Amino acid sequence: MTAEEFAGWLNSLVEQRRLERGAANELVEARRVFDQQREQLFVTSPSRVIGVAAGEVLHADSVPELLATTREMGSLVYFERADEELISFDDLERLR
């Protein structure tokens, strides 16, 4: 999903009152920081889970490990596996 699709999805969750505006803004900012460093992160941390929380780039061997770290920080996290391909909502629809 592109950054625009991600922001749109978060906005829809805010409109549905399933997510606070501040949380959506925090996740959009984390995605922005991630995207600025995407290529470098994927090269330096292949097959790892990479996340951004509170402006800090985090690396972990698993999603549970990353979430445990961010839970201790008290921050929301945007993350991806370094070996996953970017897929859009349109791509998902075509796969159905």
pLDDT in tens, 47-69: 889 999 999 999 999 999 999 99
Token readout for 4 is 């625009």
**What torsion do the CA atoms of 17, 25, 74, 82 make, to the nearest 10 degrees?**
110
Question: What is the share, in percent, of the chain residues with pLDDT greater than 70?
Answer: 86
Say yes or no to pLDDT of 33 above 70: yes
Strand partners, 58: 51
Residues 66-76: tens digit of each pLDDT: 999 999 999 99
What does the pLDDT read at residue 83? 72
pLDDT bracket for residue 91 (50, 70, 90): low
Q: Detail the DSSP E strand segments found in the chain.
A: 49-53, 56-60, 78-81
pTM confidence score: 0.80
Domain extents for the chain? 3-95
Name the pairing type of β-strands 78-81 and 49-53.
antiparallel
Kindly state the average pLDDT of the residues 34-41: 92
